[in-house]
A and B are shown apart, each in its own frame.
Chain A
Amino acid sequence: MNNYLTPNVASLPPSGIRKFFDLVATMKDVISLGVGEPDFVTPWTVRESGIFSLEEGQTMYTSNAGLLELREELSHHLNKTFNLSYDPHHEILITAGASEAVDLVMRAVLGPGDVALVPDPSYVSYAPCAILAGASVTYVPTYAREDFRLRVEDLARVYTPNAKLLVLSYPNNPTGAIMNREDLLPIADFANEHDLLVLADDIYSDLTYDQKHVSFASLPGMRDRTLFVNGFSKSYAMTGWRIGYVAGHSGLIQGMTKIHQYTMLCAPIMGQFAAIEALRSASEAKNDMVTAYDRRRRLMVHGFRQMGLDCFEPLGAFYVFPDISKTGLSSEEFAEQLLREEKVAVVPGTAFGPSGEGHIRCSYAYSMEQLQEALKRIAHFVERRLTNL
């Protein structure tokens, strides 16, 4: 039946992560550092409000844009946290996870002939979504020596005039890189000069460890050029609830709302009620999670450096992205051999784009004990490889 598929879908490569997932699934007693979601359960107060909404019989559709109460709360929150100002009536759209928001942005603004500029390495969905929207993708390489920040020189090098959308995803999955105000300003000038729209995927914005996140949309003149995407999954450990959102200029949000109303209708109502509670009363629970991630982050960086590997210090998200090229193995070889010999699952950097070669992504959304055991096993593996060289 494959010939029924459109060429676009047929030629879309399956996620590199999926391939690895299938391999891991066949093995026993694996310690996995491969998971891109928090190990915490959603804070109780948030779960409880979801339960209460069910008891109250809140089981209907909401408006397409989402509960006004949630949008109002968000508008207030974004103002307080990132100094952003969005009208809850026309400039915020609640989506089924930030993933839907990414897809909506791509479909609303990209079409055949357009190019999306995507940082490399970065989250696995950007390129496929752009391609499904009919556009093509140009990767902007980022480098360990630059702390995996997106540099305007590298952007200028790959830019072509048909580029319409630039994706910014910081704090970054898989590298854990962040970009501060000074890093972002030249990108803002470039976007202005070349009239680029910017999809700012700020999903990890609450998980930073050294400095507060700076939202690209908050830079001078960037608000209307930016589609600010965020969600509750990472900050509040709410991945399964599927609540995200996009905020931006009302004209763009209106366009996205049209697609959303015909395809998704609305985000799940129970999750929307839970999200309201998260914003109102889960900030302490959130901070506790950030503190726990920070301890683990330090442990992981220390662990990899002890093994003699270069490991850039990630200042955001919950991943470390050590350089394993010293072992003489490619990312895929390293991940596969490590899994077979030591039963530790990590994700090859190349699953996130060609510039991920020479690196592996290790999530530290695991307990201290699991991380310590995993580090021990990885150290054995690395030691064997280094002494064989």
Chain B
Amino acid sequence: MLNEEDRRLLKLIAEDCRLTPEELSIQTGLSTDYITKRIIDWENDKVIVGYQPMINWDRTGDEKVSALIEVKVLPQRGYGFDKIAKRLQKYPEVKALFLMSGGYDLSLLIEGKTMQDVALFVAEKLASLEHVQSTATHFVLRRYKQDGIELLGEEETIQRLVVSP
């Protein structure tokens, strides 16, 4: 379990991983040495698994297609769903992979350059896998919010008074 200070530190890093240990120290009151050590620990323990900017690719003009794919799988004796999941996560097209409760088993977030890319992946790689019973592909039409960030910014032009008591 994280203590309150560590939780706050980790949240800060999650919010902006560009902050240096010195800046984090100023903003939290924790020592730079402690923060540096903690970050190394978290990296070693795979608590921090990477540092990535959040990019809204829709604004770059690059073509990109995403799809959510529901997959029904026959679980394998002794492995459950892990064996097939391990195999699926290797594909670079698979950006996220979850085991789900409900009407289907695995949920995949796939990214490709075109719809053909995604269709090809489903037909050739996914549906033909042993134990995969069925797939249903849902293409993403528009992204409104991702990782907690509102992408369709309502550009809140709210004006506060410049000086107030």
Contact = CB atoms under 8 A, between A and B. Distances in A.
Contacts of A30: 162
A298 B28 contact: yes
A138 to B, nearest CB: 21
B62 interface: no
A36 B29 contact: no
A299 interface: yes
Task: Kindly state the interface size class of chain B when it binds its partner.
Answer: 10 to 19
30 contacts: A15-B165, A17-B163, A17-B164, A20-B163, A21-B164, A24-B162, A24-B163, A32-B163, A34-B162, A35-B160, A35-B162, A36-B164, A37-B160, A37-B161, A41-B156, A123-B165, A173-B165, A291-B8, A291-B11, A295-B27, A295-B28, A298-B26, A298-B27, A298-B28, A299-B26, A299-B27, A302-B26, A345-B162, A345-B163, A351-B165
Contacts of B29: 298
A312 to B, nearest CB: 16
B155 to A, nearest CB: 13
When A and B form their complex, which 10 residue pairs have the shortest distance between CB atoms, in order from nearest? A34-B163, A295-B27, A21-B163, A32-B162, A124-B165, A36-B164, A302-B26, A24-B162, A36-B165, A17-B165
Given A41-B156, A291-B8, A295-B12, A25 B27 contact: no
Interface in A344-364: 345, 347, 351
B1 interface: no
Interface string A17-52: 100110011000010101111010100000000000
Contacts of B11: 291
Task: Kindly state the interface size class of chain A when it binds its partner.
Answer: 20 to 34
Majority secondary structure, A binding face: mixed
A317 to B, nearest CB: 12
Interface of A: 15, 17, 20-21, 24-25, 30, 32, 34-37, 39, 41, 123-125, 173, 291, 295-296, 298-299, 302, 345, 347, 351
Given A37-B160, A298-B26, 12 more contacts: A15-B165, A24-B163, A35-B161, A35-B162, A39-B160, A123-B165, A173-B165, A295-B27, A295-B28, A296-B27, A299-B26, A351-B165
Nearest to B29: A298
B54 interface: no
Contacts of B163: 17, 20-21, 24, 32, 34-35, 345, 347
B149 interface: no
A113 B128 CA distance: 93
Contacts of B165: 15, 17, 36, 123-125, 173, 351
A21 B160 CA distance: 12
Contacts of A15: 165
Contact of A21 (B12, B27, B162): B162
B158 interface: yes
Nearest to B163: A34
A13 to B, nearest CB: 14
Interface in B131-147: none
Contacts of A34: 162-164
A351 B164 CA distance: 11
B76 to A, nearest CB: 41
